[in-house]
Structures are given as structure tokens and as C-alpha cells.
A and B are shown apart, each in its own frame.
Chain A
Amino acid sequence: MIAVLGLIAGIVLGLVLQPTIPLWMQPYLPIAVVAALDAVFGAFRAYLDGTFDERVFVISFIGNVLVAALVVFLGDQLGVGSQLSTGVVVVLSIRIFVNAAAIRRHLFHA
């Protein structure tokens, strides 16, 4: 519940404040968002599995975001930034699909 409230609060805050993304953050924000989404789906799945743990979620959320940003940063430094961010997005997308499938099995048994 608090998670949903927090999500809504964040969206409203973003719409109201209309922040401009700092330049240094611009390449990393989309990847970080995708990584966070992956963590959220993973957490939801774990919750339905009954193995959800808040500490694990917080660490995986922050860890995912940081690692994704780090990978993209490294890619930029190596000159393969766009390819690597594509790769990160693909991997995270696959994980999101797998987690979504598990959630679907839990909730709809299908």
C-alpha cells in the first residue's frame, strides 16, 4: 500500500515539479528507470512466492540502478555506450518478462 502511495506521490511530484534532468544524468536515467522497474517486478514476484524481504528489495533496487548506470558509464568510456545500453535494456526487459510471467502464473494460474 505504502509502495503504491509512494509511486503515485512520485509521479505527481514529477508532473508538478517538471524537473530538468541534469546533463550528467541524462544517459543513465532511462537505464536506471528500467533497472528499477526490473527490481520492482522481481520484488512483486518474490512477494507472491512468499520470499519477499524488504532489505533484499532495497539492496536489489539500489544495486540494480547503480550497476546499470555503471555499465552504461563504462560503455560510454569505452565508446560502446549506445550498444551497451541497448544490451542492458534487452537483458532487463527479458528479466521483466520472466518475472511478469511468474506473477501471471501466481495470480491467474495461466
Chain B
Amino acid sequence: MPDPSAASRPKAEGPSDGTTSAAWAKVRHAMHPKANGGQLVVGVLFAVLGFALVTQVRSAQGAEALASARPDDLVRILDDLQERQDRLQAEAAALAATRDELLGGADQAGAALDRARDQAQTLGIVAGTLPASGPGITVTVIDREGGVDAALLLDAVQELRDAGAEAIQIDGQRIVASTAIVETPEGIEIDGEPVEPPYDVVVIGDPETLASALAIPGGVLESVRNAGGDGLVEQRATVDVTALKPLDQPEYARPAP
């Protein structure tokens, strides 16, 4: 305890300084080595303390911390880890689900794109904007006497369509839904382009069906013969419908929502 008289005085005055400096003097005095037995024992004890301190600090910092933990603490740590693992697993599951969803979405988008592409090709063949190739027939209509008129050609086209023709061209003119076959004083025009006999007709479809559709009694070929012409039908494994029809952008019609 400090000097009782010092406690009653203001702090910074003489006697209180006296006790403080006396304490410091003691500290300084302690710093002078005095090698007697007691001091040596104290030194050894301090050495033991320092040794143990460093050892413990090192073990508490390293992975040995777990090895020196109590069963209770280990159980608590294990619980914490378990909880953390559960949480992370739940998170991982959620993320995996999101990923699957996104991948599925990409697949769906890809499938939709493929479908759209297929549809575009189909529509292109129907609309005449894409060349087409496949089994079919070629028909050469010879008109020696000028008796084959537009109506007869149109009949032929209708007959071929009935028989399942998928793409038709006549003299390099693609025949589509909007195609007009018109009789003019100069001859026959298909979509405004004059065509001359002999008419080369290329049709894609089932060759047998197409050929027999043209050959039925009272059908196209017989009508052509009656009109003073002739028709030569050839079935082929592959015919090419290469004529294209430019696609006009519709001016008024829009896709209905």
C-alpha cells in the first residue's frame, strides 16, 4: 500500500513522488544480478514458465488445438461443423437445382431453335423460297398442235397436288399456293413469265403415286393426248426442284398473337 499520508495529499506532490521513485528504485535494484541460491531457483521457475508459455501458445495456435481440446468442446465443434455442413449442403442443392433449371432452359431454347429451323425449312419448301430435292417424277408435256392450254396445266398441277406432290416446278417456274397460270394471246404465262412448250414439269413426291395419278383414265395424260399433245413421265429416285420464288413481305397481314 502507498504511504497513508500520501493518500491524503494531492497526487503530484513530494511524498507521493517519493513512494513512486522508491518503487522504481526497487525495480532497478532487482535488475542487478545477485547470484544466490534463491534467485537461481526463481530464475529456473521463470524459465519453466517461459517454456510452458511458448509451448502452450504454439499448441493453441496450431492444429494441435483440436488434439488438446476437451471432449465437450470437441462435441460442440463437431456440432458446429455438422450444422455448417448441413447449411452448405442445402445451399449446394439449391444451386444445383438452379443450374439444372438453367441448363434445361438452355436445352429448351436449343430445342425450340431446332424446331423453328425445321419449320422454317418446311415452310421454305412449301413457299418456294428454298430449293428442294427428293424422289419424284419428271413429266415432259409436248404440245404439237397448241391444244395444251392453261386450264390443262392447272389440272395437272391440281392432280399432282392431290397425289401428294410436295414441290413442283414447270419450265423453271416454281409452283406455289399463289402461283397463277394464265392463258394469254401469246401463250401461257406462269406468274407473269411466258412458258413455251414443251413443258418440263419436275415434281417431288412418291413417284408411283404421282405417275399413276397422271395416268388414270380420263386424267391428265389422256386429256393432253386428246388435245393433240403427249406426256412423257419418268420416275426417278432423285429430282431437284431448283426454281425459287421470291417471298413478298405481307403488307397488311401480321401474325395473330
Contact = CB atoms under 8 A, between A and B. Distances in A.
A5 B43 contact: yes
B108 to A, nearest CB: 57
B89 interface: no
Interface residues of A, number: 48
Dominant SS among interface residues on chain B: helix
B31 to A, nearest CB: 5
A98 interface: no
B43 A2 contact: yes
B88 interface: no
A2 B31 CA distance: 8
B46 A14 contact: no
B217 interface: no
A11 B56 CA distance: 11
Interface string A36-54: 1100100100011110001
B35 interface: yes
Interface string B46-77: 11111111111011100010011010110000
A77 interface: no
B38 A6 contact: no
B35 to A, nearest CB: 7
Contacts of A109: 2, 6, 11, 16-17, 19-20
